[in-house]
Structure formats: structure tokens, C-alpha cells
Amino acid sequence: MRILVLNQYYHPDQSSTAQLLTELCEDLAEHHEVTVVSGRPSYNPVERDVARREVVRGVRVVRSRSTTFHRANMAGRVTNYATYVASSFGDAMAAGRPDVVLAMTDPPVVAAAAAAVSRARGVPFVYVNQDLFPQVAVALGRLRNPAIVGGLSRLNRGLRRRAARIVAIGRDMAGRLIADGAPASKIHVIPNWADGRALRPLDGRSALRREHGWEGRFVVMHSGNVGLSQDLETFLDAAERLRDEPDVVCAIVGDGAGAAVLKERASRSGLCNVRFLPYQPKAELADSLGAADVHLISLRPGLSGAIVPSKVYGIMAAGKPFLAAVDPGSEPALLAEEHGCGVRVDPSCPDGLADAIRRVRGLPLAEMGRRAREAFESRYDRPIAAAAYRRLLEETASLGPSGCR
């Protein structure tokens, strides 16, 4: 079977979506012929000087002639998106006739190019929703123009109707898609994942913990993107309420659009209990995640189902419990309740988060971490997700032209 994949971010980009898609395509390439049409590296890439066409670990990668402006500049980001979408259709058509087309949501309208290729080639396409657009942009206040919001909403509804299959990465996302008019019969819930072979609970103490003098202290860690949706301002608000409890460390490990503002505020407020660390190398991720006593997963109110934080699976793989500052019914809240590996608190509530940090110290954290790893191994390990995608793509390809809309 020949699988054609469209998404702007792919290795060597280091976004979560790029890393997940790279792992998925490499796993699929063990059984099928996989071609990825991506953009030029622009999202915290390991390297920028890469070939336009190459085979990487069995995957044929074609990089379109997109621009590579820094993402911190919105105009540059939009230009990157536009140049990628404009060039991806031609590269996808030049890649030969596939049996099935798969598109993710980087950028949010890349599925339009995938749908056009699907129609031109007479093959079905699968629409994988890593987030919902324009819902995320509206919730974050980044998009307010009613005409643009309405146009983008209609476009994405049409693309979902055009798709043969729709993937939601969480149960809350599936619910929002159905409420927005997506046919329930097309929706398949396939959660994101972590690699349980590379990411395991530590046998001993964390080297990162020793390096930063956190031995004997209680470490609450946010690890991952430091962006707008994570609501880390509330984490700093909670840290202010905990500043008289010197054994508590609030660690923010990662980077993103919100990092500079958070660092400036923590410095201005004299928050000595807040520590900022850069992204840790992937090979050292188990040690970094293992440095925490409990992890924080947070989202701004109203984002439940529009974003599903995939970092929860890495936390579970590392055998760590988590605090989920999220709306009720969101995927992290469901995981915490179902597996007894976390505690939900209301989002954007500093007092509630500070109280939860105090309260969680008295819980059996080691047992909660053990339950997290057990649930991860049974449901969220990389081979489980790869097998689910493989089955879905093989089934969809078997529809042939009848799977096109």
C-alpha cells in the first residue's frame, strides 16, 4: 500500500506533532510505502540544511519550497503556512498515485491540499485532527474577525465531510467534532502516544534533580511547550501563594511563545521557587520527567477537546502522577479519574492549584505513578497507536474510489 502524508512539520522539526508524525511514518514504513510532503524545517529544528528529497529510515521525504520565518512573528508564521500549502499540492501530485492520503493539521488548512490530491487521484483521504481550528485561535483571542472565523469554520466542516475517515486524538475532541457537524460514523478516536521503550520510570534518582539541588524538595513540573494555551500564568500565581513554603519548587522545562513574559514576571516578582530550564535532549527525557514529584498539565478554560495535551502520555510512560488543571470531561481529566494516576483541578484558579499542590503531597504518589505506567503500557504505547493507524489506513485504502466524496 502507498501512503501519502501531508503536514508542514516533520523531522528535523521538534514540535510535538512533528515528532509524533515522524515516529508514526517510520512505523508504517515497516509495512507499507510511505511518502511525506513536509515544509522546510522552521519549528525549533535540529538542523535546517536538509535535502529537498531524501529517504529517512524508510520514509520518502519531500520538502516543499516553504519559507522558514521564525514562528514568534505571526506574519512570518502565516507566510510559512501559505507558502507550504501553495507548494504542497504540486509536490504531492508529483509523488505518484497513492492508495490513501493522510493529512494532519499543521497548518490548519493543509487538509484542503490533501482533499484536492484525493479528488484528483481518485483515492480516499484520512483527516487527523491534532487540534481544532479556528476554535483554538478564537478561544485564545488570536482570531476575532467574524467573517474569517465563519469562513474557516465552513472550510473545515467541508473538509471533514470530504474525508473518508476522521481521527480525533481524544474522546473530548470526538465530542466537539460531532457537535460541530462531523459525521459520527467517520470518527475514530486514536490517542497520541509515547515510546515506552525509550521512556521508562527511573531506577534511581534523577541526575537533573541532583544537578539543580532539588533533593529533599517537592518538585512540581511543567514540561513541554510554553505557549499561550498552557495558561502558565496561573502556575506562577500559584507559585506566589506557595512562596513561603521553601521546599516546593515550581519548574518550567521547555520553551515557546510565552516563555520570555513568564521569566520576566517571575524575576520582577522575586519568585525564587520558580525555575526555568530549556528543552532537555530527547535522550535525557526520562531523567528530566523523572526529576518531578508530580507534573502539571494545564489548559485555558474552553480549550477542552480543541487541544489534547499529548505530553500526558510521556508523563505516564515515565511512571509519574499529574495535576490536571483542565475543564471537567477533558481527556487528561478522564485519564486521571479512570486510572487513579492524577488529580483534576479547575483551570485558571491559582488558589485551587496551590491547594492541590499542598494536598497531593499527602497522596501515595509512587502508587499513582505505578498505575500511570500500567495504563500507558496497556493503551498508550507507541506500537499500539501505530497498529491502530495501520488498520485504519488499510481499511480506508480498501474503499478505493468509493471512499472519495
- Over residues 87-99, the pLDDT tens digits come to 899 999 999 999 9
Site of grid cell 478561544: 139
Rounded mean pLDDT of the chain? 93
- Looking at the predicted structure, is the pLDDT value of residue 250 above 90? yes
Reported as a single tens digit per residue, the pLDDT across 97-115 is 999 999 999 888 899 999 9
Question: C-alpha distances in angstroms, 81 versus 14, 39, 164, 270?
Answer: 17, 9, 25, 39
The whole-angstrom distance between residue 92's C-alpha and the CA centroid of its chain comes to: 25
Q: For residue 199, what pLDDT is reported?
A: 96
Q: Residues 257-263: what's their mean pLDDT?
A: 91
Single pTM value for the model: 0.93
pLDDT at residue 37 greater than cutoff 90: yes
What pLDDT sits at residue 23?
97
Task: Read off the C-alpha cell for 253.
Answer: 522545562
Spatial distance between the Cα atoms of 181 and 125, rounded to a whole number of angstroms: 18
Query: Mean pLDDT across the stretch 373-395?
Result: 98
Does 328 score more than 70 pLDDT? yes
Higher pLDDT pick, 166 / 46: 166
| Band of residue 45 on the pLDDT scale cut at 50, 70, 90 | low
The alpha carbon dihedral of 119, 125, 131, 132 has a sign of positive
pLDDT value at position 85? 86
Using CB atoms within 10 A of its CB, is residue 379 exposed (0-12), middle (13-18) or buried (19+)? middle
List, as own/partner pairs, every contact residues 326-330 make where C-beta atoms lie below 8 angstroms and the sequence separation is at least 24, other chains included: 326/297, 326/298, 326/299, 327/299, 327/301, 327/302, 327/303, 329/172, 329/304, 330/170, 330/172, 330/299, 330/304, 330/305
Q: Could you identify the residue written with the cell 536538509?
A: 50
pLDDT at position 193: 98
State whether the Cα torsion 81-160-102-90 is positive or negative: negative
Is residue 83 pLDDT above 90, yes or no? no
pLDDT exceeding 70 applies to what percent of the chain? 97
Maximum CA extent, the chain: 66
Specify the residue for cell string 509515547: 194
CB 32 within 8 A of CB 41: no
Quote the CA–CA distance of 259 and 278 in Å, as a whole number. 10
354 grid coordinates: 496551590
